[in-house]
Amino acid sequence: MKTKLLLLTFIYSLGCNTFADSIIQPSNTSGKSAIQSSNVIFTNTKTNEEDNITAYSSAIKELQNKISQSPDNYEFYVPLIDLYLKSKQYDNTYEELTFLNNLAKRNKLNENILKELSETEKSAEKFSKYNKNADLNINLALINLILKNNKKAQEYLTLSSSSTKFIETFKEVFDTTENYNDAIIFADRILNVNPQKTELRKLKALYLLQLNQKDNAQKELAILVQNQPDDEEAKYLLYNLLSETNLSEKDILKKLYPENIGKDEISYKKLANLLLKNNNTQGAKIYAQKLVKQFPENADGYIILSEIYMKEGNLQDCYDVLKTVRDKADDNESIAKYNVMLAKLSDEPVKEADALMNNNLYAQALNVLEDANQENLYVILGMARADYFLGNKQKSFELLNKAMSLYPDNPDVFYYFAFIFYKENDIESARKYISKALKINPEHVYSLKLLDSVNKNDADKYLNKINSAMETQNFNEAMRLVNEAISIDGKNSALFFNKGLIYIAMNNYAASTAPFYKAIELDKNNIQAYYYLGVAFDNLSEGQNALEYYKKFVENLPEDDYGESEKLNNAKVRIEKLSRQIN
């Protein structure tokens, strides 16, 4: 399916030079250092921020405009970072430093930029001595990482453990240097003061595993599980380590579920579900079978086994287990799971009715269901579905209310309500019932899919507004709208594609690449994104990357897509010229 190209007309109005020989923009036409011209100096003297706020804002805006016009002139970023630091906009500072750090990894920062950044670091360091702030220090850590002053980066990390950016910066510093020994020593220093930093302890355990220190990693994970019994990631990591030891099953359960000592029935259930969730079906089967054998009256063991058999494709075994559990399901959750599995696997009328409704034969499906057990949840829901599509809306809601009275804790009931409201274009009510379904089961597949549709419906409404903003060259408003839409539907390829187009229109080619990559990740058939990645890299003078994406566009464009002939011709021209330049 083609991506919506609401901004295409506007993009073409920018002029053919965007795609022709003049595509490569000069990095600095003034002949003067961008940093020198900014005249920004960081001092350690106290200033009246209210008096200077206007000056800061004006200078920041000026630099932001320069960056939008020449995004590949990376020298503009250092004075901008200076100003952000001086005005204590530490989140903005961190964002720009992250960008520079990614450039540094690709050796895109020249000596002049690194020298100016070093001067910024010295000034900010003086300022930090009387301005004790964790977010300031986290930025200093990142600056020193860019400058390859790894020891100083670690020193500033020590002073920034209370920052919200601490964990990601810690990981960035030590993943970059791969100095896992130092990472562990550093983590210990922090954990000795604040042992409740669970994410840091988990990182320490992962670094210990990198060094093959499994015993020490096991100890850290055990502490984590003891303090955070709901951390399933830590539990699974710990289980994998414990399963390699000679510990008895009793000791393994004791370490994984210390709160359930003496309650094997609960521990078996939790461990079986944990392993099943992580696709370890063989391990899950072992503990589900133990649960069934030792606690035959517990329906959970049979239900877990039925899920395992279904994953394995052993449908007959799955059905046999469900027949055994029929009289053992003693709570709403177990009953709901039993009904779901049985409806999928048995020869009940529900299965026949579903097949009929999938072929739009609703009257025939209703006849089948009317002869079935009227207390079965999926018979009731099937009838509600059939009646709705036959135009009997009132009858449909009466059946759904009946289902809710019999099965008040089943997410499928709320999903059916949500589905009908969605079909009625009552999006607000649809969201309300989706929320109720997901509150009962956060992984309810049908509700999650419907939520995606609802989000896409809401986000798509923004596209016309975005296009209108772009037609009037109101780039800031267009960006605000697309970001707002993405916050509603973060899985919409068209939105990320249009965000990339906005950056292209602003000549911010460096920033455009990330949304285009995301658009492709969300929709592999978004062929347009390949073309504009080629345009972006072409403007950034990254010929090899530009060549790669132009070729992908040409190779993947459908032969009958005549509407793209102009871009196709442009791409072929650039491929020929770039190939000659590179070779």
Predicted local confidence at residue 581, as pLDDT: 85
Lowest mean pLDDT among 151-160, 238-247, 270-279, 312-321: 312-321
CATH number of 37-177: 1.25.40
Tell me how far CA of residue 403 lies from CA of 375, 438, 529, in angstroms. Answer: 8, 17, 46
Type of residue at 126:
K
Tell me how far CA of residue 429 lies from CA of 18, 399, 415, 435, 437, in angstroms. Answer: 46, 18, 11, 10, 13
Please, are residues 407 and 377 in contact by the beta-carbon 8 Å criterion?
A: yes
Angle 217-223-227 from CA coordinates, rounded to 5°: 145
Predicted local confidence at residue 301, as pLDDT: 83
Please, are residues 388 and 410 in contact by the beta-carbon 8 Å criterion?
A: no
Residue 160, φ and ψ in degrees, nearest 5: -125, 20
Mean pLDDT of all residues in 375-385? 87
**Position with higher pLDDT, 295 vs 16:** 295
Percent of the chain beyond pLDDT 70?
84
Highest-pLDDT range among 96-105, 237-246, 408-417? 408-417
Predicted local confidence at residue 533, as pLDDT: 93
Please, are residues 71 and 511 in contact by the beta-carbon 8 Å criterion?
A: yes
Q: Identify the burial level of 40 via C-beta atoms within 10 angstroms of its C-beta, where 0-12 means exposed, 13-18 middle and 19 or more buried.
A: buried
Mean pLDDT of all residues in 455-471? 80
Query: pTM (2 decimals)?
Result: 0.44
Half-sphere exposure of 405 (CA within 13 A, CB side): 8
Q: Measured between alpha carbons, how far is 323 from 88 in angstroms, rounded to an integer? A: 66
Lowest mean pLDDT among 29-33, 220-224, 376-380, 468-472: 29-33
Predicted local confidence at residue 342, as pLDDT: 59
Predicted local confidence at residue 277, as pLDDT: 85
Q: Measured between alpha carbons, how far is 559 from 553 in angstroms, rounded to an integer? A: 12
**Residue 580: strand, helix, or coil:** helix
Token pair of 312, please?
Answer: 């394995």
Mean pLDDT of all residues in 429-436? 90
Predicted local confidence at residue 345, as pLDDT: 53
Task: Name the nearest CA neighbour of 369 among 323, 390, 335, 356.
Answer: 356
Residues of the chain with CATH 1.25.40.10: 362-452, 492-582
Q: Measured between alpha carbons, how far is 562 from 117 in angstroms, rounded to an integer? A: 49
202-214 pLDDT, tens digit each: 888 888 888 888 8
Predicted local confidence at residue 36, as pLDDT: 37
Predicted local confidence at residue 482, as pLDDT: 86
Predicted local confidence at residue 392, as pLDDT: 93
Q: Measured between alpha carbons, how far is 472 from 479 in angstroms, rounded to an integer? A: 13
**Position with higher pLDDT, 33 vs 423:** 423
Lowest mean pLDDT among 49-63, 264-278, 424-438, 518-532: 49-63
Quick one: 492-582 is in which CATH superfamily? Tetratricopeptide repeat domain (1.25.40.10)
Nearest 10 degrees: Cα torsion 528, 530, 532, 536: 170
Q: Measured between alpha carbons, how far is 81 from 93 in angstroms, rounded to an integer? A: 6
Lowest mean pLDDT among 40-49, 204-213, 247-256, 374-383: 40-49
Highest-pLDDT range among 278-282, 329-333, 389-393? 389-393
**Position with higher pLDDT, 561 vs 369:** 369
Predicted local confidence at residue 565, as pLDDT: 77
Predicted local confidence at residue 390, as pLDDT: 94
Task: Name the nearest CA neighbour of 479 among 456, 464, 498, 507.
Answer: 498
Q: Measured between alpha carbons, how far is 355 from 544 in angstroms, rounded to an integer? A: 52
503-559 pLDDT, tens digit each: 999 999 999 999 999 999 988 888 899 999 999 999 999 999 999 999 999 888 876
pLDDT class of 333 with cuts at 50, 70, 90: low
pLDDT at 177 over 80: no
pLDDT at 8 over 70: no
**Residue 304: strand, helix, or coil:** helix
pLDDT class of 29 with cuts at 50, 70, 90: very low
Mean pLDDT of all residues in 452-464? 78
pLDDT class of 284 with cuts at 50, 70, 90: confident
Predicted local confidence at residue 11, as pLDDT: 42
Report the chain's mean pLDDT, rounded to a whole number: 80
Q: Measured between alpha carbons, how far is 365 from 277 in angstroms, rounded to an integer? A: 35
Percent of the chain beyond pLDDT 90?
15
Please give the DSSP secondary-structure letter assigned to residue 563.
G
**Position with higher pLDDT, 345 vs 321:** 321
Mean pLDDT of all residues in 5-21? 37
Predicted local confidence at residue 18, as pLDDT: 30
Predicted local confidence at residue 302, as pLDDT: 84
Mean pLDDT of all residues in 470-491? 85
Predicted local confidence at residue 353, as pLDDT: 84
Q: Measured between alpha carbons, how far is 262 from 260 in angstroms, rounded to an integer? A: 6
Predicted local confidence at residue 28, as pLDDT: 38
Task: Name the nearest CA neighbour of 142 among 196, 189, 95, 89.
Answer: 95
74-89 pLDDT, tens digit each: 888 889 888 888 888 8
Mean pLDDT of all residues in 465-484? 87
CATH of 362-452, one of 1.10.287.620, 1.25.40.10, 3.30.1360.40, 3.40.309.10: 1.25.40.10
Mean pLDDT of all residues in 59-88? 85
Listed in sequence order, the residues at least 6 apart from 298 whose beta carbon sits closer than 8 Å to its beta carbon are 265, 269, 291, 292, 328
Task: Name the nearest CA neighbour of 456 among 488, 481, 499, 426.
Answer: 488
